[in-house]
Homo-oligomer: A and B are copies of this chain.
Amino acid sequence: MGDVFKALADPTRRTILDELAERDAQTLFEICARLATRHGLASTRQAISQHIAVLEAAGLVTTRREGRYKFHHLDTTPLREVTRRWPITEEEE
């Protein structure tokens, strides 16, 4: 089982989560393309693939196989640990 906090430590991985939050069920190549065009990240496919593996180990991303495509889904459930561990002070108005 991976470390949620370590998974969040990398900026590229956080951008991948942003992408999946905006558009669910993307393939690896889609994520690569959109990272390049919309976020200005010029990373190779392998680099992204390894990042996704880390996110998957942390439970932040789940995958679904379909033929030769592999769709990725965002799962924010592990993020509950953050707020559970250190209760966030309420916002003032």
Contact = CB atoms under 8 A, between A and B. Distances in A.
Interface string A75-87: 1110110110111
Contacts of A83: 79, 82-83, 88
Interface of A: 3, 5-6, 8-9, 14, 17-18, 21, 74-77, 79-80, 82-83, 85-89, 91
Nearest to A83: B83
Nearest to A14: B5
A89 B86 CA distance: 18
A21 to B, nearest CB: 6
Interface-central residue, A74, A75, A89, A91, by most chain B CB under 10 Å: A89
Contacts of A79: 82-83, 86, 88
